[in-house]
């Protein structure tokens, strides 16, 4: 468990103070993939780098498994950092070293392993990330996705319990992004690894995260399980991210709504309800006619969801909506 208690951070630049993180309380349970999303300058990197004390907090306490890491002396901090791995947007591999030597680096620095132990562990890590055949190559000979796999293998070398990912897929194309996210997903489950992940894409959050915190101007403005935040965004910043990901335009939707009669509702189906033939049944029973104004079916992590925007005309619309709610469908009335 990672806990922030009133943690804040101010940078001093040429006599001027820049607040990067307002006092922040946060809890990240062990074994979760926790996403931090926000626009450039929102304070995401600062928050992430406070966890491994690459940045020192200006105040507050950070506890990892109950240990106050803000109070650790130099030796304790070195040991603590071995329990944390980090991966970066631009991979940060050493260009003059081979793939195997890059992965071996944290083990060599720890100074606790024989050369044979390091060789065995590196071979195992490279096999896990699918790069056994590339051990003797240099980073320049690899694709972006392969470089990030080396970064992941290196980050996992000392068997950390926490992996910090700073925009780890931002430099990758969509297909490679999907593969790297899939690998992170698998590692999270296999190793019960806590992953804290920074991104500016809601789609990355939707695909892998359990929880999300949305940051704006140094503050967490919305936080919760991804399904809740993604399907029912409240803060304007969250709404912008979700609408961007869904390629929706609020003004266009308002224009569309002006063209149709009746009530307008948004229905959210999750899990089993996503595929149940509810809508037709309920429309027949209540005598309501509906037209579909928008919708999609997708997954949040592994859970399917469907979201439909409908206009309802005639019949007993109240009864229809009550039946939908009784079947665990979330109903939001967009126009009464």
Q: Which is nearer to ligand ATP, 43 or 85 (CB)?
A: 43
Task: Please classify residue 207 by burial: count the beta carbons closer than 10 Å to its beta carbon, then call 0-12 exposed, 13-18 middle and 19+ buried.
Answer: buried
Per rule CB under 6 A, count of chain residues that contact ligand ATP: 12
Question: Which of 45, 169, 223, 311 is close enough to bind ligand ATP by CB under 6 A?
Answer: 45
11 in contact with ligand ATP (CB under 6 A): yes
Residue 336 is classified by DSSP as: -
d(CA 161, CA 195): 9
Q: Which is nearer to ligand ATP, 11 or 275 (CB)?
A: 11
Q: Which residues touch 293 (CB under 8 Å, ≥6 apart)?
A: 253, 256, 257, 260, 264, 309, 310, 311
d(CA 97, CA 90): 16
Q: Are 144 and 175 in contact (CB under 8 A)?
A: no
46 in contact with ligand ATP (CB under 6 A): yes
43 in contact with ligand ATP (CB under 6 A): yes
41 in contact with ligand ATP (CB under 6 A): yes
Q: Which is nearer to ligand ATP, 101 or 166 (CB)?
A: 166
20 in contact with ligand ATP (CB under 6 A): yes
Q: Which is nearer to ligand ATP, 213 or 329 (CB)?
A: 213
Q: Per-residue string for binding with ligand ATP, 147-186, x by CB under 6 A?
A: ----------------------------------------
Q: Which is nearer to ligand ATP, 40 or 95 (CB)?
A: 40
Question: Using N-to-C axis directions, what is the helix angle for 278-286 and 317-326, rounded to 10°?
Answer: 150
Q: Tell me how many helices (H) and strands (E) the chain has.
A: 12, 14
Query: What DSSP letter does each residue of 216-234 carry, written as one string?
Result: ETTEEEEEEEHHHHHHS--
CB of 45 to ligand ATP, least distance (A): 3
The Cα-based distances of 301 to 169, 225, 251 in angstroms read 17, 11, 29
Question: Which of 44, 128, 134, 206 is close enough to bind ligand ATP by CB under 6 A?
Answer: 44
Q: Are 7 and 23 in contact (CB under 8 A)?
A: yes
Q: Per-residue string for binding with ligand ATP, 241-260, x by CB under 6 A?
A: --------------------
282 in contact with ligand ATP (CB under 6 A): no
145 in contact with ligand ATP (CB under 6 A): no
Q: Which is nearer to ligand ATP, 198 or 267 (CB)?
A: 198
* Bridge partners (DSSP) listed for residue 17: 12
146 in contact with ligand ATP (CB under 6 A): no
Among left, alpha and beta (phi > 0; psi -120 to 50; other), residue 236 is: alpha
Q: Which is nearer to ligand ATP, 158 or 211 (CB)?
A: 211
Q: Which residues bind ligand ATP (CB under 6 A)?
A: 11, 13, 18, 20, 38, 40-46
């Amino acid at each position: 468990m990672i806990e922030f208690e009133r943690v804040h951070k101010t940078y001093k630049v040429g006599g001027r103070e820049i607040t990067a993180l307002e006092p922040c309380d946060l809890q990240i349970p062990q074994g979760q993939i926790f996403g931090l999303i926000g626009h450039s300058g929102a304070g995401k990197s600062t928050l992430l780098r406070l966890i491994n004390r690459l940045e020192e907090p200006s105040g507050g306490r950070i506890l990892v498994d109950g240990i106050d890491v803000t109070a650790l002396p130099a030796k304790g901090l070195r040991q603590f950092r071995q329990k944390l791995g980090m991966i970066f947007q631009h991979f940060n591999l050493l260009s003059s070293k081979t793939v195997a030597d890059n992965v071996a680096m944290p083990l060599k620095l720890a100074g606790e392993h024989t050369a044979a132990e390091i060789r065995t562990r590196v071979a195992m890590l490279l096999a896990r990330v699918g790069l056994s055949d590339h051990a003797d190559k240099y980073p320049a000979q690899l694709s972006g996705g392969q470089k990030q796999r080396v970064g992941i293998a290196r980050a996992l070398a000392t068997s950390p319990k926490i992996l910090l990912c700073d925009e780890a897929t931002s430099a990758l194309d969509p297909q490679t992004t999907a593969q790297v996210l899939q690998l992170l997903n698998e590692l999270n489950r296999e190793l019960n690894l806590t992953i804290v992940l920074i991104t500016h894409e809601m789609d990355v959050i939707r695909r892998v995260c359990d929880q999300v915190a949305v940051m704006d101007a140094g503050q967490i403005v919305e936080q919760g399980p991804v399904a809740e935040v993604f399907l029912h965004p409240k803060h304007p910043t969250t709404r912008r991210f979700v609408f961007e990901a869904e390629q929706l335009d609020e003004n266009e939707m308002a224009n569309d709504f002006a063209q149709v009669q009746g009530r307008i509702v948004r229905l959210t189906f999750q899990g089993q309800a996503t595929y149940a033939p509810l809508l037709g049944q309920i429309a027949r029973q209540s005598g309501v006619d509906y037209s579909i104004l928008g919708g999609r079916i997708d997954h949040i992590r592994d859970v399917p969801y469907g979201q439909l925007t409908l206009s309802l005309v005639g019949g007993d619309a109240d009864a229809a909506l009550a039946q939908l709610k009784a079947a665990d469908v979330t109903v939001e009335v967009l126009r009464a």
